Structure 1
Amino acid sequence: MTTENPPIERTRQPSAHAGEFSMCFTSTPRGARLARRLTSHRLDAWGFPYASEVNGTVTLVVAELAANAVTHGRVPGRDFRLALVLSAARDLVRVEVTDTRDDRPPSDASRPPADLEAETGRGLWLVSQLASRVCVVPRGDGGPGKTVRAELTL
């Protein structure tokens, strides 16, 4: 079997992003774990090695947002979507986690949790401390649900 590469089109506009990754995952702990692992792998492929601070920080943000999507945004039989975008200047990573539940908006992430020693309830606050911007927007494709977006300046 042979594969042909199409000719390079010189008229294309340069991409506004250095890298993009998007994938759906099952709304289970296993799906959240896979999202975290593939994020770390993608960052390594983009030139941010596994042991780097950037890789660790972005992977932690994805882990928290994916865990929230699985725990609080889960609708049985529906997946969540992870999207990563690396800016063309390679100075910003945008993380988007979309779930299909819009009746449970996230709490205010800017306030520290009442009990910093509690085992739960710190995820969004932690994300807000690591990211330069965090927001919640309606799903972009018009379906039910919401997207939690975090932008990290590198």
Structure 2
Amino acid sequence: MRVSFCLPALLALATAGCSPPQARPAGPDAPVAFSATDQARFAEDLSRRTFDYFWDTTTADTCLAPDRWPSNPFSSVAATGFAITAYAVGAERGYVSREQAAARTLRCMEFYHDAPQGPAASGVTGYKGFFYHFLKNDSGHR
């Protein structure tokens, strides 16, 4: 008796996925090839705009880099790491002087070195040498 009820259900499940294949939309004929000059120009533009993003959106005194943009609800230690890397790239490529990049990086290191640490739920930046991932933009605390 049970088999007679289960068999139609199993048959329906087994055939539910059986449908004729759908026609796939035609893709592009061939990938677009860019010249080496165009590729270099694109890479330079991307590098410059990435540097400008971190230089312009990261606070100079605390090095708090926004986790998101243009909404900037909080900063992120990971984004700060990208900002510090961008400063080195910017100095290497001549976007800013080495002195400007070094000064901003030093301020970042001093901020995190001097920031309060502890297990508290707020008012601290990290604990035992590790930094909390998300920090408030105005204070650098969680």
TM-score, length-scaled by structure 2 = 0.30
| Bigger helix share | 2
TM-score, length-scaled by structure 1 = 0.28
| Bigger strand share | 1
Q: Which has the larger radius of gyration?
A: 2
